Amino acid sequence: MNYYKILEVDKNASSEVIEKAYKTLVKKYHPDLQGSNLKAEYEEKIKSINEAYEILSNPILRAKYDEKLKGDDISEENFQKLSRENENLHNELNNLKHNINYTRYNNNINTDDNIQQRQQKEIEYQNQINEAKQKAYYDAYIQDLKNRGYKIKYKKTLKDYFKNFIALLITLIIIFILLQIPFIKNFFINLYEENVAIQYVVNLISNLFKS
């Protein structure tokens, strides 16, 4: 159900235009002004008009609706593009099925392998294919979201925090080493003595550690 189409207005219509369109449609389709055989039909139509106006006349509800509409609305050009990308992806996956680690897979199978070893290697090979498929579909989905203007946020793992901690630790060590060089140390001392803002920040941090 497209509320803009129901009110017969453009998606960029102002609140004044929406209100005017709503009043016009209410007068036009009011059930009491219709014949008895059309009254039930027009009651449903008025219900849809009221629902559309309730959403589009409220800035917050309209913004949420526009966001949803944006996600559901795919232009013909984008649809064709996604179709071509999907076809290319399908072809790549078919090639992947025959090529990914295929040589290594065949070389690792010896004539003396028993049935259980062969089955295990077949399972590992199929798992590699499935992982490659999932990654390819995921990458295509993420790229499609980026093309639509969505911002992708990735959840940080413990490994990410550990990397950040190591980077911070290395930075502090480098700063400490640099401060042992006399002319660099004097430069920062002079900078501290001449800049009130830096003095304030350094003193504030120093008081935090003391407390």
Mean pLDDT of successive 10-residue segments in the chain (211 residues)?
89 92 88 73 88 92 87 57 69 71 54 70 82 72 68 71 91 88 84 82 76 59
pLDDT of residue 17: 93
Does pTM top 0.75 for this prediction?
A: no
pLDDT of residue 20: 93
pLDDT of residue 77: 57
Residues 49 and 41 sit within 8 Å (Cβ to Cβ): no
pLDDT of residue 73: 57
pLDDT of residue 79: 53
